[in-house]
């Protein structure tokens, strides 16, 4: 092999090599910085940010008192027109198993787990969060199309994981307001 | 100067044997959950298989490859007999015992917790103890790599450490430190509960500990592949390393920035606040840097080889490359898969985009493409390259080797591209069964079937790989000569201390881990009332 040629006029070629390399390193650094800036920009301006606060809850008392007692689960129309949905995951179902919400409305999903780690994923949307027992997950969402969406558990939660599928029904705003008139917590279980 | 060939061969053979078993399980999983498989009447079997497949492919197989390759590098790059051979064998046997100890309860369905553990699900205690033994065995290797380098330095004061060994030791330190996260989780949290000493556990804290391990372990898997890119490929195809110092900088960057970014695995978790998610996300962008540098240096090194072979023109030189050389083929396939996988990785690292694919089949598709594809195909190439030096026999089936590599590449593409796609459609991961009769799931059936077909191609390729190596044990004797690594165009005679030692960078790695993990871990550990009752697997 004749790399010797490259060797004999070593210093000149070494300089060229180093220059090309520095140029590439600069480009690489710029790419990385751009990516970080892009992430920061998207986070701040599009407001898709992680939940700001860590909230805890005691899973062994979930059924007894507090926000996640059974009678408080489901969708509720707030006075400002927004909707809050409260749900829990347990082996191997969600309560409520069918969530009903209005279209084109800001919705806050608050959920937790009663036993092991689960996840909530609503197909066809970017609603996707973990349910970790002891902690409350909060996610903001808004559906622009009415219809039925599948809502599988996306984390292995033991032997029945493959059967843990919930549903989301997105309905007309007026229809939802009508149903919400009587107060109480709405769901579409059994419908 | 490969003296302890038996030791190295033992590591490689055990690695490839368990790889063969886990690969078969993987193909079965693919098949059984696809529309062409018949419905599995007992889904629990799927999770046993998945735990075994993940544990072997994630912990046992790559660790053994890194160890065997590490010993080979130490002896041949330093030209020095391995110091501490007995310890090395002790490490090997610890892994054997640990792997068996872990796999017995898994086989019995007593530890179907998957390789990520995720408490409060708790399996049989021997599963976790087995994993701990595997890690302890690998830590012996880490210590030996450090000791061997030190012995060499004493004999060669001030001399540049050969690049292969410099990178190898960097990889071993990265592994030692990144394994600490899962070790803390196992020793402080899981094992006391699995042994029945405690009944509650903080699931959120456990996930943060695990994320400490989960990212950088990926770079530990990657190390043998990157070492092969820099120090084997250029030699095998008749070229030179474009730049020795850029190579060192890349390995140092891996050591420093792979660690403090693991919380990108908890983007969707409620127990980590937005601030630390943002910090880890920003740091994650940094790990693209060593890979971008590597792609440049390796492409330039390959171009050198092509021009030495008479290649001309802006891109014309590509034709002059030795395409019938398995190492060239493996490198090209590896780079193509790294390119696609890297593009997917950019999506995962962005908090906003991650939300649409988090824990879907996209993720499994992604890491199979990178790990099973780009990384493992270079493990194959490393084995092919080393084999004659380990066995003293020639690998004669060049055509079979090329076919094997082609099949692995095609199989990976056929398997993982549709796998990504169903992830985008929202198909959740780790499920034993999908109801393809449901009209909302039916559109995924074709893609899942394609993936299953790709799985069988991969299985065929894996079997060929093992057959080639086995036949190599009985081929005609040959004198393969000493095992050598690639030289740089400008081979260094002096290297700055910072690029020749690891201490500064290890200190930086530890410091960055503490700043990026210290507060969240302490905060979670000290907060009251977040421990939850353990849920024992197989105890209903
Ligand atoms: C070649 C190296 C391979 C490596 C390193 C590897 C690694 C892994 C790991 C670590 C997991 C655990 C993922 C989890 O628990 O979610 C996994 C899952 C899986 N692997 Fe592999 N694997 C390899 C090859 C294969 C092959 C060839 C196939 C198919 C033929 C396959 C099929 C699967 C399947 C179906 C899953 C389960 C995915 C799920 O249910 O979510 N793997 N693999
Ligand atoms: Cu689940
Ligand atoms: Cu990661």
State the CATH number of the domain containing residue A131: 2.60.40.420
For the ranges A67-71, A101-105, A118-122, A152-156, the lowest mean pLDDT is seen at A67-71
Q: Which residues 105-124 in chain A show a CB within 8 A of chain B?
A: 112, 115-117, 119, 121-124
Same domain, A91 and A114: yes
Confidence band for A2, pLDDT divided at 50, 70 and 90: very low
Whether B54 lines ligand 1, by a CB cut-off of 6 Å, is: yes
Question: What does the pLDDT read at residue A48?
Answer: 63
Interface test with B, best of A39, A91, A94 (most B CBs within 10 A): A39
Domains of chain A: total: 2
pLDDT at A49 over 70: no
Of A11, A31, A49, which one is at a domain's C-terminal end?
Answer: A49
Same domain, A64 and A21: no
Q: What is the pLDDT of residues A52-74, one digit of tens each?
A: 778 888 888 888 888 999 899 99
Please tell me the distance from the alpha carbon of residue A187 to that of residue A4, in angstroms, as a whole number. Answer: 78
Question: What does the pLDDT read at residue A5?
Answer: 40
Same domain, A84 and A172: yes
Residue A27 lies in a domain: yes
Residue A87 lies in a domain: yes
Please tell me the distance from the alpha carbon of residue A95 to that of residue B18, in angstroms, as a whole number. Answer: 42
Protein residue whose Cα sits closest to atom 41 of ligand 1: B430
Say whether B502 is catalytic: no
Of A29, A49, A69, which one is at a domain's C-terminal end?
Answer: A49
pLDDT at A3 over 60: no
pLDDT at B212 over 80: yes
If one counts every other C-beta atom within 10 angstroms of the C-beta of residue B335, the result is 17
For the ranges A22-31, B245-254, B336-345, the lowest mean pLDDT is seen at A22-31
Same domain, A40 and A71: no
Our CA-based measurement puts residue B255 at a distance from the nearest CA of chain A, in whole angstroms, of: 18
Protein residue whose Cα sits closest to atom 36 of ligand 1: B26
Residue A190 lies in a domain: no
Mean pLDDT for chain A overall: 86
- C-alpha closest to that of A62 among A154, A133, A148: A133
| Per-residue tokens: B478 | 């040959």
Question: What does the pLDDT read at residue B493?
Answer: 84
Residue A189 lies in a domain: no
Angle at B92 between CA B247 and CA B104, to 5 degrees: 120
Confidence band for A51, pLDDT divided at 50, 70 and 90: confident
Whether B114 lines ligand 1, by a CB cut-off of 6 Å, is: yes
Q: What is the pLDDT of residues B195-204, one digit of tens each?
A: 999 999 999 9
Ligand that lies nearest to the alpha carbon of residue B30, given by its number in the listed order:
1
Residue A34 lies in a domain: yes
Please tell me the distance from the alpha carbon of residue B71 to that of residue A35, in angstroms, as a whole number. Answer: 38
Which atom of ligand 1 is found nearest the CA of B51?
A: 15
Domain span at A25: 1-49
Same domain, A104 and A158: yes
Same domain, A103 and A149: yes
| Per-residue tokens: B81 | 């007999």
Cβ partners under 8 Å of residue B36, min gap 6:
B449, B452
- Give this complex's ipTM: 0.91
CA torsion, ordered B96, B100, B218, B87, to nearest 10 deg: -20
Whether B186 lines ligand 1, by a CB cut-off of 6 Å, is: no
Which atom of ligand 1 is found nearest the CA of B221?
A: 5
Please tell me the distance from the alpha carbon of residue B160 to that of residue B501, in angstroms, as a whole number. Answer: 9
Residue A36 lies in a domain: yes
Our CA-based measurement puts residue A181 at a distance from the nearest CA of chain B, in whole angstroms, of: 32
Same domain, A22 and A95: no
B123 Cα: distance to centroid of ligand 2 (angstroms): 16
Please tell me the distance from the alpha carbon of residue A28 to that of residue B429, in angstroms, as a whole number. Answer: 34
Q: What sections of B163-273 are H helices per DSSP?
A: 163-184, 191-194, 203-231, 233-236, 244-257
Residue A171 lies in a domain: yes
Same domain, A162 and A90: yes
Question: What does the pLDDT read at residue B417?
Answer: 97
What residue spans define the domains of chain B? 5-536
CATH topology assigned to domain B5-536: Cytochrome C Oxidase; Chain A (1.20.210)
Residue A137 lies in a domain: yes
pLDDT at A100 over 90: yes
* Average pLDDT of span B20-29: 97
pLDDT at B420 over 90: yes
Same domain, A5 and A64: no
Question: What does the pLDDT read at residue B9?
Answer: 97
Confidence band for A46, pLDDT divided at 50, 70 and 90: low
């Amino acid at each position: 092999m004749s790399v010797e040629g490259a060797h004999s006029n070593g210093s000149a070629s070494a300089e060229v090599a180093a220059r090309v390399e520095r140029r590439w390193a600069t480009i690489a650094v710029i790419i990385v910085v751009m990516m970080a800036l892009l992430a920061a920009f998207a986070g701040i301006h599009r407001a898709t940010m992680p939940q700001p606060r860590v909230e805890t809850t005691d899973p062994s008392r979930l059924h007894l008192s507090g926000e996640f007692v059974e009678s408080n689960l489901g969708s509720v129309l707030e006075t400002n027109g927004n909707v809050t949905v409260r749900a829990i995951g347990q082996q191997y179902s969600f309560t409520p198993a069918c969530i009903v919400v209005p279209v084109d409305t800001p919705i806050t999903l608050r959920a937790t787990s009663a036993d092991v780690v689960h996840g909530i994923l609503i197909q066809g949307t970017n609603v996707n969060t973990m349910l970790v027992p002891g902690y409350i997950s909060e996610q903001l969402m808004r559906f622009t199309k009415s219809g039925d969406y599948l809502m599988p558990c996306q984390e292995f939660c033991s032997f029945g994981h493959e059967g843990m599928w919930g549903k989301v029904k997105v309905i007309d705003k007026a229809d939802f307001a009508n149903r919400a008139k009587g107060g109480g917590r709405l769901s579409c279980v059994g419908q | 100067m490969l003296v302890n060939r038996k030791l190295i061969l033992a590591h490689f053979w055990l690695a490839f044997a368990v790889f063969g078993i886990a690969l078969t399980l993987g193909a079965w999983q693919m098949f059984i959950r696809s529309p062409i498989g018949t419905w599995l009447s007992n889904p629990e079997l799927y999770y046993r298989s998945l735990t075994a497949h993940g544990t072997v492919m994630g912990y046992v197989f790559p660790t053994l490859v890194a160890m065997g390759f590490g010993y080979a590098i130490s002896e041949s790059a330093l030209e020095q007999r391995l110091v501490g051979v007995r310890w090395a064998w002790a490490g090997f046997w610890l892994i054997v015992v640990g792997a068996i100890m872990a796999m017995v309860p898994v086989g019995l369905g007593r530890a179907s917790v998957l390789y990520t553990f995720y408490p409060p699900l708790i399996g049989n205690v021997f599963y976790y103890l087995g994993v701990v033994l595997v890690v302890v065995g690998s830590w012996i290797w880490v210590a030996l790599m450090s000791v061997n380098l030190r012995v060499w330095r004493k004999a060669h004061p001030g001399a540049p450490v050969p690049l292969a060994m410099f990178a190898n030791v960097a990889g071993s330190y990265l592994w030692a430190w990144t394994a600490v996260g899962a070790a803390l989780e196992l020793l402080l949290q899981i094992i006391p509960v699995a042994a029945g000493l405690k009944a509650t556990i903080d699931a959120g804290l456990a996930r943060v500990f695990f994320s400490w391990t989960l990212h950088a372990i990926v770079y530990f898997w990657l190390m043998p592949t990157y070492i092969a890119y820099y120090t084997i490929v250029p030699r095998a195809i008749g070229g030179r390393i474009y730049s020795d110092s850029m190579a060192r900088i890349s390995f140092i960057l891996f050591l420093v920035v792979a660690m403090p970014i693991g919380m990108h695995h908890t983007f969707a978790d409620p127990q980590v606040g937005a601030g630390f998610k943002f910090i880890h996300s920003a740091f994650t962008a940094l790990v693209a840097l060593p890979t971008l540098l590597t792609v440049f240096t390796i492409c330039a090194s390959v171009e050198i080889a092509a021009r030495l072979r008479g290649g001309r023109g802006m891109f014309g030189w590509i034709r002059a490359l030795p395409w019938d050389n398995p190492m060239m083929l493996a490198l090209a396939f590896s780079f193509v898969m790294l390119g696609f996988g890297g593009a997917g990785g950019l999506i995962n690292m962005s908090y906003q985009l991650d939300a649409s694919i988090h824990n879907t089949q996209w993720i499994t598709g992604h890491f199979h493409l990178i790990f099973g594809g780009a990384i493992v195909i270079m493990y194959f190439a490393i084995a092919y390259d080393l084999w004659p030096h380990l066995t003293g026999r020639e690998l004669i089936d060049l055509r079979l080797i090329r076919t094997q590599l082609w099949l692995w590449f095609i199989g990976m593409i056929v398997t993982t591209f549709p796998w990504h796609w169903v992830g985008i459609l929202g198909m959740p991961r780790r499920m034993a069964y999908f109801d393809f009769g449901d009209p909302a799931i039916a559109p995924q059936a074709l893609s899942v079937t394609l993936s299953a077909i790709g799985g069988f191609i991969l299985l065929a390729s894996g079997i060929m790989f093992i057959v080639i190596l086995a036949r190599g044990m009985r081929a005609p004797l040959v004198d393969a000569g000493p095992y050598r690594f690639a030289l740089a165009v400008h081979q260094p005679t002096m290297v700055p201390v910072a690029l020749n030692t690891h201490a500064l960078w290890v200190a930086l790695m530890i410091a960055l881990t503490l700043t990026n993990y210290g507060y969240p871990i302490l905060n979670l550990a000290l907060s009251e009332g977040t421990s939850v009752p353990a849920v024992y697997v197989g105890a209903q």
